[in-house]
């Protein structure tokens, strides 16, 4: 990249509660498409988060370090995505798709986001086939009911989720 070319910045937004192997796959692949990938950890009280925004940022930062992706960083935000993306200098929003239901929702969001700022493109990446069923909500539910989440998250995240479940109490222990 010469000194006159603009740096291509992408934003991969999400709650990451917790970060899953599916998220890691999208981060790894998304980082190849841009000069810098900002993983935007957002608040979303409607999703009933298990972890605080600060804990989620720390979790994603640790996963990023373990993945050794040099052109990515974690930033927290609590604002409209397009305002956040513009503030970061992003020209691309990276979104992962698992299934048709994801596409319908993401397609509508991309249309709304384009209305808010038509200079920022949304790029959809299909989740790896073996990772498509993974969703943070389901990972939490499996853990809360005493199931093994090892196939869905890294060992470090598994330990954090299991520790949190121990503090809030498992269900299904009867």
| Catalytic (active-site) positions | 23, 47, 98, 136
d(CA 22, CA 157): 13
The DSSP line for 35-87 is SEEEEEEE--GGG--SS-HHHHHHHHHHHHHHHT-TTEEEEEE-S-HHHHHHH
Closest Cα to residue 59, out of 15, 28, 95? Answer: 15
Q: How many Cα atoms are found within 13 Å in the side-chain-facing hemisphere of 133?
A: 7
CA dihedral of 58, 70, 106, 80, whole degrees rounded to 10 = 60
Per-residue tokens: 105: 């929702």
- Kindly report the backbone phi and psi dihedral angles of residue 91, in degrees, each rounded to the nearest multiple of 5, phi listed first: -115, -5
């Amino acid at each position: 990249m010469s000194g006159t070319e603009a740096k291509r910045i992408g934003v991969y937004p999400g709650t990451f509660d917790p970060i899953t192997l599916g998220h890691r796959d999208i981060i790894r692949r998304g980082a190849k498409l841009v000069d810098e990938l900002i993983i935007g950890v957002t608040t979303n009280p409607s999703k009933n988060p298990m972890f605080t925004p600060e804990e989620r940022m720390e979790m994603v930062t640790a996963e990023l370090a373990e993945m050794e992706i040099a052109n990515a960083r974690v930033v927290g935000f609590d604002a409209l995505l397009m305002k956040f993306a513009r503030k970061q200098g992003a020209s691309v929003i990276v979104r992962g798709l698992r299934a048709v239901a994801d596409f319908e929702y993401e397609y509508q969001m991309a249309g709304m986001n384009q209305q808010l700022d038509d200079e920022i493109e949304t790029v959809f990446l299909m989740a790896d086939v073996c990772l498509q069923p993974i969703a943070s909500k389901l990972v939490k539910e499996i853990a809360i009911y005493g199931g093994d989440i090892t196939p869905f998250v890294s060992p470090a995240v598994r330990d954090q989720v299991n520790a949190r479940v121990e503090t809030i109490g498992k269900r299904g222990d009867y």
